[in-house]
Amino acid sequence: MAEAPRKIMLKRIAHVYYKYSDMDKATTFLDDFGFTEEKRVSDGKIYYRGYGKEPWVLCAIKADKAEFGGVGFAVESEEDLRIASETLPKATKIYELEDAPGGGKCVTFYDPVDGYPMHLVYGQEPAQMLDIPLPHEPMNYPTEKNRPANKFQRFEKRPAPVHKLGHFGVRTVSFAKAYKFYCDHFNFLASDLIHDAEGIDRTVFFRLDRGDEEVDHHVFFFAEGRSYKVHHSSFETHDFDTQVLGHDWLREKGYKNCWGVGRHVLGSQIFDYWYAHSDAVPSSFRDRTNGGFRYDPDGFIMEHYVDGDLITSSQPPHRSKAGPGSLHVWGERHLNMIILFSKSMVLTKNTIGPEVPSDFLD
């Protein structure tokens, strides 16, 4: 890699690629999760959007083996793409996103620690927001009644519509190497760092440094573990009612809830994690059942979230010790350690649902 003249300036997280061996199951799940099909290049490649301004937020690709295909970040300029192509590990030359909604140019590189792809894009045409019904009803509190008399709350049972891609997370084999690489080459800032009992940082939640612009608490996190794996991608939906209606929709369709609904501490989001119905579970996976609950720790996980924190670059990083208190403040705990899944986290005995097996992190 050549030495970069400056950091590559990321503007926002944009989209994610997933490869599926069973596209029928995958597309059924994506529809039920709340994505909108935007462009079907073929039965083996489909672009999905949210109701926001991103031209697409997920690309589903048929493949022999289920695989995470990497996340795309929008950059400030074509010069950022040039720097990326000349300085990042195994970077491609600049190429056109020929069949993608919104067009644009792209450079793909590979994480130098764990080898997964990342994509940088520039020049996409934004989409028009979709005009879909979303509730905006005022809330009544015990001593503050904001909704007029004779005005009723009525909701439609449906999937929770996706607004945008909010963040993704992976397990890395070397926190220190990954942290240095992403801080050296990009405008990432640590919002929260989690350290172990010896005071060594093992997990980071990165936001983008956009100066005084308000940005999400994190767009990218990683935690150190024995081997690489993608953990989940997270998609924003409208509000809590919309989220829980989507939870019920997925449950009634027979999908497996991973963890949620609950409220995170770091980032403050209300979360709801689901296992995608696909063939994402490798053949080496051993079914484990505890109290009748089956979970797929090697499968794709997707999250709906609402009500996350916004911060600016003036907020300093926060450091805290790993433990159950850093994960959630309320919510069902049948798999309360699944979001952060490395040796930097502490497994705890559950009070609701089956206990986490002792070999969960193996």
pLDDT tens digits, residue range 32-62? Answer: 999 999 999 999 999 999 999 999 999 999 9
pLDDT given for residue 361 in this prediction: 34
Task: Say how far apart CA 118 and CA 181 lie, in whole Å.
Answer: 13
pLDDT over 90 (residue 232): yes
Higher pLDDT, 297 or 308: 308
Give phi and psi for 137, each to the nearest 5. Answer: -85, 140
Nearest to 267, CA basis, from 215, 343, 223: 215
pLDDT given for residue 277 in this prediction: 63
Task: Say how far apart CA 236 and CA 34 lie, in whole Å.
Answer: 10
Residues in contact with 98: Cβ distance below 8 Å, sequence separation at least 6, in sequence order? none
What confidence tier does 130 reach under pLDDT thresholds 50, 70, 90?
A: very high
Tell me: the pLDDT tens digits for 254-267? 999 988 899 999 99
What confidence tier does 309 reach under pLDDT thresholds 50, 70, 90?
A: very high
pLDDT over 70 (residue 292): no
pLDDT over 90 (residue 356): no
pLDDT given for residue 2 in this prediction: 74
pLDDT over 70 (residue 344): no
SS3 call for 243: helix
H/E run at residue 14: strand 10-20
HEC assignment per residue over 85-126: HHHCCCCCCCEECCCCCCCCEEEEEECCCCCCEEEEEECCCC
SS3 call for 335: coil
Nearest to 167, CA basis, from 302, 287, 258, 257: 302
pLDDT over 80 (residue 290): no
Task: Say how far apart CA 281 and CA 303 lie, in whole Å.
Answer: 18
Angle at 188 between CA 185 and CA 193, to 5 degrees: 120
The HSE-up count of residue 11 (CA atoms within 13 Å, CB side) is 15
* Residue 256: Cβ within 10 Å count: 15
What confidence tier does 333 reach under pLDDT thresholds 50, 70, 90?
A: low
Task: Say how far apart CA 167 and CA 16 lie, in whole Å.
Answer: 10
Nearest to 117, CA basis, from 195, 184, 170, 183: 170
What confidence tier does 239 reach under pLDDT thresholds 50, 70, 90?
A: very high
pLDDT given for residue 317 in this prediction: 96
SS3 call for 186: strand
Tell me: the pLDDT tens digits for 169-192? 999 999 999 999 999 999 999 999
pLDDT given for residue 355 in this prediction: 34
pLDDT given for residue 126 in this prediction: 97
What confidence tier does 326 reach under pLDDT thresholds 50, 70, 90?
A: confident
Q: How confident is the prediction for the chain on average, in pLDDT?
A: 87
Nearest to 126, CA basis, from 35, 214, 11: 11
Predicted structure pTM score: 0.89
pLDDT over 70 (residue 296): no
pLDDT given for residue 77 in this prediction: 98
pLDDT given for residue 314 in this prediction: 97
Task: Say how far apart CA 144 and CA 316 lie, in whole Å.
Answer: 35
Strand 164-172 to 229-236 pairing = antiparallel
Task: Say how far apart CA 75 and CA 120 lie, in whole Å.
Answer: 6
| Average pLDDT over every residue of 3-22 | 94
The answer to whether 322 and 345 are in contact (CB under 8 A) is yes
pLDDT over 90 (residue 288): no
Task: Say how far apart CA 132 and CA 105 lie, in whole Å.
Answer: 30
pLDDT over 90 (residue 244): yes
Provide, rounded to the nearest whole percent, the portion of the chain with pLDDT above 90. 77
H/E run at residue 184: helix 175-185
pLDDT over 90 (residue 285): no
Q: Is the peptide bond before 261 cis (omega within 30 degrees of 0)?
A: yes
